[in-house]
Amino acid sequence: MKVGILTGGGDCPGLNAVIRAITRKGLQEGFEIIGFKDGWQGLIENKFINLNLESVSGILPRGGTILGTSRTNPYKNEEDIKKVKEGFKNIDALIAIGGEDTLGVASKLFKQGLNVVGVPKTIDNDLSCTDYTFGFDTAINIVTEAIDRLHTTAESHHRAMIIEVMGRHSGWIAIEGGIAGGADVILIPEIPFDIEEICGLIKKRQKRGRNFSIVVVAEGAKPKEGDFVLQEEKRDAFGHVHLGGIGNILAKEIEKRTGFETRVVVLGHLQRGGSPSAFDRILGTRLGIKAVELVKEKRFGQMASLQGNKIVSVPLEDAVGTLKVVDKEFYEVAKVFFG
């Protein structure tokens, strides 16, 4: 069999671990493995590289993806989707590695009769039907380390520090990074916030002698009477607007209402970069091997998934049907430490 791989959407640590595992396992099964460059754009333009033992040697600890990525949506253009389908004539199966957008395209292609298998990737951990996506563990470790470092400077200068993290519609990075880092307030997209309540928590800390506060906010968090904060109105190929700036708005309000000097740190793409954690290297490896097994068994339209400590398969359609969001019970755990 000739099997193609692509990585689409935002990059994250662990992608190369998956590519390496698919290549090693695929070659053992006697498959020919090729990697399409820059996500779905590689299939549209027929740009690919042959993958072998030499090309995946040494990539396990590397961040990003050796194949490159893009946010190309072939369904935006009739000619593009036609080229993608023509590209499938040169392969027997495709393993698509990505989040809701990339795997959403893969699910549509499967419904149109093409041989596709999915591997879940996103630092946001918001794909359904899998307990964790690779990339998430590395991201929350980066957030936790950032909070640890900001604690000392916040305490020294008696400041409130706002840390803005990624999370468009789900607050997994904010809540898990915030709990691990000992944040005093955590704001997530799932639960609109009240600025007066936040300021009250900061004042409460001051009354008991804690003259600094750490507030972690997801980029998609919004006030009870308000909407998303946008950097610009322009939308990407999948219809997403560019979020960002909620941290600066919060800082101005907190400083004005409490008198506390307030500073903002936007972690941005730092959360995506660098070497993957041990957990993400192992998870990516296991998911990649499972994807090859699904191809070998001709179980197309499936996504490799972590459930408990087992790697299983689930329908792609189910995985991309709804986003996995933070439930209120988990948020109540975080609230115990607010203020």
Confirm if 94 and 105 have CB atoms less than 8 A apart: no
Confirm if 74 and 80 have CB atoms less than 8 A apart: yes
124 included as an active-site residue: yes
- Please give the full DSSP string across 8-24, using - where no structure is assigned: -SS--TTHHHHHHHHHH
- Three-state SS for 242? strand
Confirm if 172 and 165 have CB atoms less than 8 A apart: no
Distance from C-alpha of 334 to C-alpha of 197, rounded to nearest angstrom: 15
Annotated active-site residue in 38, 124, 137, 280:
124
In whole angstroms, how far apart are CA 276 and each of 20, 58, 239? 14, 13, 29
Confirm if 333 and 320 have CB atoms less than 8 A apart: no
- Please give the full DSSP string across 172-235, using - where no structure is assigned: HHHHHHHHHHT-SEEE-TTS-B-HHHHHHHHHHHHHTT---EEEEEETT--BTT----EEEEEE
List CB contacts of 57: < 8 A, sequence separation 6 or more. none
User: How many angstroms separate the most distant Cα atoms in the chain?
Assistant: 69
The vertex-39 CA angle with 5 and 16, nearest 5°, equals: 55
Point out the residues that are catalytic. 124
